[in-house]
Amino acid sequence: MVSEHKTADVSFESLLRIFTVPEGPDSTLTKIDEELSRNLNKFLREHIVAEEKPLREIEKDFSNAAIPEQPEFVSDHTQHLLDTLVSHSVHTSAPSFIGHMTSALPYFLMPLSKIMIALNQNLVKIETSKAFTPLERQVLGMLHRLIYHRDDAFYSQWMHSANHSLGAFCSGGTIANITALWVARNNALRATGDFKGVEKEGLFKAMKHYGYEGLAVLVSERGHYSLKKAADVLGIGQEGLVAIKTGSDNRICPKALKQKITELKAQNIKPFAVIGVAGTTETGSIDPLEEMAQICAEEDCHFHIDAAWGGATLMSNNYRHLLQGVELADSVTIDAHKQLYIPMGAGMVLFKNPDAMKSIEHHAQYILRKGSKDLGSHTLEGSRSGMAMLVYAAMHIISRPGYELLIDQSIEKAKYFASLITQQDDFELVSEPELCLLTYRYIPAHVRQSLEQANAKQKAELNELLNDLTKFIQKRQRETGKSFVSRTRLNPNQWDRLNTIVFRVVLANPLTGRDILSTVLEEQREIAQTAPNLMARIEKLVKQINA
């Protein structure tokens, strides 16, 4: 409890005190707050990724399932959190953390997020959010306009309309994608004749009514793993998520897409949605959106674009063209907590047509009454925080040209890193950056040279050994904690489409300097030398190849 006494006590008076806003700068809590800020700022300034401590060790601090019977002082518990939690968390904001889509955040979001926490609005309904409701609708309007470029008249007609919705704010891209496919499924299996719609009668009756043998959603083989979850949840089944092959550029082959749709239709399977990926998670590639939109129009499919990560590129007038065709989508997912630099928990899905979400609209007696402007009538989630205010604030403080600079520098940094990798004898660029994401692997120079002589079997064997080496380097680098790159598995042409483990780098953090990129390569090179067994096996194979 917040108490001046030496031992924390449990009394209703002390409980009332913890719910009371402290007055004045000398209160215990104000002091704890200041001390905590100093500690966090110190932590954020440390340029390492993580302390070297195995998870098993950390788990010991979090092993008690009993809820404490004794209260702790706030000051004591804060120190406990700093020692056991903060010091063993990951510096996702470190300039050398270049392995995932988390980055340093604009620091002004720290004070502003206090507004969100302190006011604790619930956006499900106006009664618990008031001004936050129009604010969220405006944020959705801004993103809608960024994608679809409609005119002022459009937004003044629809943005605040009680019975319409330009999209939904949600906790992240997964819920955004599920929402888009939910809307698409319900529109494809809508009420006709005696049938009351899939939302009322369910999928089994819908299939019998429409006479389909199956449903399908088509996406490139590089589609995000969450789409499988979506297909499962929505009752379509993971097998209903049909993977279309990609070219060597990791983009979907439109011909293969068209052909698969024809095949499915011939089997009486309804391909009700096609998903274009604008920034694949593993290679950062952008599908040919215009061609896909054309196919969807011809085939009467809902066209969804998963731009959870790449959508922020629309902020840059210099690179917006990479997503050409995005404005033709029926729906688009964008995560503000990726390259819009907002804290975790800010996903959005936007719909071209303000009527689209009617297929999932729902009401209740005590809230979300018909005709109300309660946001909850068009969201998969119920109670939600006022996270949209941070997107709103960042849009105003950074502004579009500010975001443009951030996007541009990230893409240019990735191009620089790609050229740096290409210049090395002992590294191979596996996928070129389209946005700020690329993949590569380490191969000792003489091993690379031997590749030309290798037969298919030897190449496959070498690939396996290099996979093990890449895994070893990536794990060791992560554990050492100075820097972090992630890894994934691709099937590149240059490796005969074998399973190929690669390093994966995302360069969203504006604080990541070019010197760090050189250091990361140097560290990987050094770690490779600490795997003598693996290196010896590679040497042995190289000798066989060269023999």
Distance CA 130, CA 135 (A): 9
What's the min distance (Å) between Cβ of 372 and a copy of itself?
10
- Min dist CB 315 to a copy of itself, Å, is 7
Closer Cβ to a copy of itself, 209 or 538, answer by number: 209
The residues, ordered by sequence, that sit 6+ positions from 523 with a Cβ below 8 Å of its Cβ are 477, 480, 482, 483
How far is Cα 59 from Cα 271, in angstroms, rounded to an integer? 46
Integer CA distances (angstroms), 386 to 105, 125, 502, in order = 18, 11, 39
CB nearer a copy of itself, residue 3 or residue 449: 3
Q: How far is the CB of 417 from a copy of itself (least distance, A)?
A: 18
- 276, 287 contact by CB (below 8 A): yes
Which is nearest to 339 in space by CA: 277, 240, 408, 421? 408
Q: What does the H/E/C string look like for 1-31?
A: CCCCCCCCCCCHHHHHHHCCCCCCCCCHHHH
CB of 469 to a copy of itself, least distance (A): 18
DSSP assignment of 471-524: HHHHHHHHHH-S-B-EEEEE--GGGTT--EEEEEEE---TT--HHHHHHHHHHH
CB closer to a copy of itself out of 438 and 545: 438
Least CB distance to a copy of itself at residue 5 (A):
15
Task: Supply the minimum distance, in Å, between the C-beta of residue 108 and a copy of itself.
Answer: 5
**Nearer to a copy of itself by C-beta: 225 or 547?**
225
Minimum Å gap between C-beta 148 and a copy of itself is 10
Pick between residue 237 and residue 522 the one whose CB is nearest to a copy of itself. Answer: 237
Distances (CA, A) of 92 to 36, 46, 487: 19, 11, 16
| Cα separation, 483 vs 52, whole angstroms | 12
Closest CB to a copy of itself among 254 and 402?
402
Residue with tokens 């404490």: 68
Do 304 and 272 meet the contact criterion of CB atoms below 8 Å apart? no
Helices and strands (H and E) in the chain: how many:
17, 11
Cβ proximity to a copy of itself, 93 vs 519, nearer residue: 93
Task: Give the neighbor-by-neighbor strand order of the sheet with 427-431.
Answer: 427-431, 437-442, 500-506, 486-490
Rounded CA-CA distance 243/62 in Å is: 40
The pairs formed by 184-192 with CB atoms below 8 angstroms and a separation of 24 or more are: 184/272, 184/273, 184/302, 184/304, 184/330, 184/331, 185/215, 185/234, 185/236, 185/272, 185/273, 186/359, 186/360, 187/302, 187/356, 187/359, 188/215, 188/270, 188/272, 188/273, 188/302, 189/272, 190/359
Instruction: Give the whole-angstrom CA distance, residue 301 versus residue 141.
Output: 25
Smaller CB distance to a copy of itself: residue 196 or 448? 196
**Taken in order 338, 340, 346, 350, is the CA torsion positive or negative?**
negative
Q: What are phi and psi of 331, to 5 degrees?
A: -155, 155
When the beta carbons of 16 and 547 are compared against a copy of itself, the nearer one is 16
Q: 456-480 and 532-546 are packed helices; what angle lies between their axes, rounded to 10 degrees?
A: 160
Question: Strand (E) positions, 393-457?
Answer: 427-431, 437-442
Of the pair 55, 266, the CB lying nearest a copy of itself is at 55
SS3 94: coil
Q: What's the min distance (Å) between Cβ of 391 and a copy of itself?
A: 10
Please report how close the Cβ of residue 423 comes to a copy of itself at its closest, in angstroms. 25
Q: Which residue's CB is nearer to a copy of itself, number 195 or number 519? A: 195
State in angstroms the smallest separation of the CB of 61 from a copy of itself.
Answer: 7
Shortest reach from residue 138's CB to a copy of itself, in Å: 4
- Nearest distance from residue 351's CB to a copy of itself, in Å? 15
Nearer to a copy of itself, 67 or 547 (CB): 67
